C-alpha cells in the first residue's frame, strides 16, 4: 500500500507559505530579544524608542519567564502547526485558534507599551504587528478552505 501525498498549489498554500515566512521572522526577532536578555547584551534600537525600558519592565515576564522566550516557543509551535496544515486542512482551524490567542496577547502588549510603560520597543511592535497579520492571514485561509 502506497500513500501518495499530493499538494496542489493554490491560494491556501500560498497564504500558508506567507504565514510560515512571517512566523520565522517573529521567531528570529523573539530569539534575538531573548538572547540579548539572557546575555545582558545591549540591543540595537532605533532613536526615540526605549527597548531596554520595555524589556526590563515588570511586564516583560510571566511567572518568571521572559515574554521573548515564551514568544519564541509560541512561534516554533505555530510554525510546526502551520507545516501540518499543508497536509491536513483541519489544522488550519487550530492555526486560527492559536493565532487568535497571539492576536489578543499582542493587542495587550501594545496597550501596555503605550498606556502603562509609556514607551515602546520597535522590535516588540514588529513582533506584535506581524502576529496580528498572521491571525488575519489565517482567517483568510480558513475562509478559502471552507469555500472549497
For residue range 87-122, what is the model confidence (pLDDT) as tens digits? 888 889 999 999 999 999 999 999 999 999 999 899
Whether 46 is covered by a domain: the verdict is: no
Whether 51 is covered by a domain: the verdict is: no
Question: CA 53, 58, 59, 64: dihedral to nearest 10 degrees?
Answer: 120
Whether 44 is covered by a domain: the verdict is: no
Whether 4 is covered by a domain: the verdict is: no
Q: How confident is the model at residue 137 (pLDDT cuts 50, 70, 90)?
A: very high
CATH number, domain with residue 24: 1.20.1440.130
27 half-sphere exposure, CB direction, 13 A CA radius: 14
Residue 7 has pLDDT above 50, yes or no: no
Cβ(67)–Cβ(54) below 8 Å: no
Partners of residue 133 on adjacent β-strands: none
Residue 26 has pLDDT above 80, yes or no: yes
Tell me which residue range forms the domain holding 103. Answer: 11-37+57-147
Q: 98 is written with which cell numbers?
A: 492559536
DSSP E strand boundaries for the chain: 61-62, 65-66
Split into its structural domains, the chain has a count of 1
Whether 28 is covered by a domain: the verdict is: yes
Task: Please tell me the total number of residues recorded for the chain in this structure.
Answer: 148
Question: CA 68, 99, 14, 133: dihedral to nearest 10 degrees?
Answer: -70
pTM of the model: 0.87
What confidence score (pLDDT) does residue 143 get?
Answer: 87
Residue 24 has pLDDT above 90, yes or no: yes
Whether 102 is covered by a domain: the verdict is: yes
Amino acid at each position: 500500500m502506497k500513500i501518495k501525498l499530493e499538494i496542489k498549489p493554490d491560494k491556501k498554500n500560498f497564504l500558508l507559505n506567507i504565514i510560515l515566512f512571517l512566523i520565522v521572522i517573529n521567531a528570529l526577532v523573539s530569539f534575538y530579544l531573548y538572547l540579548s536578555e539572557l546575555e545582558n547584551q545591549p540591543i540595537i534600537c532605533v532613536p526615540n524608542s526605549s527597548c531596554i525600558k520595555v524589556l526590563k519592565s515588570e511586564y516583560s515576564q510571566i511567572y518568571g519567564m521572559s515574554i521573548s522566550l515564551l514568544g519564541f516557543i509560541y512561534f516554533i509551535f505555530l510554525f510546526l502547526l502551520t507545516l501540518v496544515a499543508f497536509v491536513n486542512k483541519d489544522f488550519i482551524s487550530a492555526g486560527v485558534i492559536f493565532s487568535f490567542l497571539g492576536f489578543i496577547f499582542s493587542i495587550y502588549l501594545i496597550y501596555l507599551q503605550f498606556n502603562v510603560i509609556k514607551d515602546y520597543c520597535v522590535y516588540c511592535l514588529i513582533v506584535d504587528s506581524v502576529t496580528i497579520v498572521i491571525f488575519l492571514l489565517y482567517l483568510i485561509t480558513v475562509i478559502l478552505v471552507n469555500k472549497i
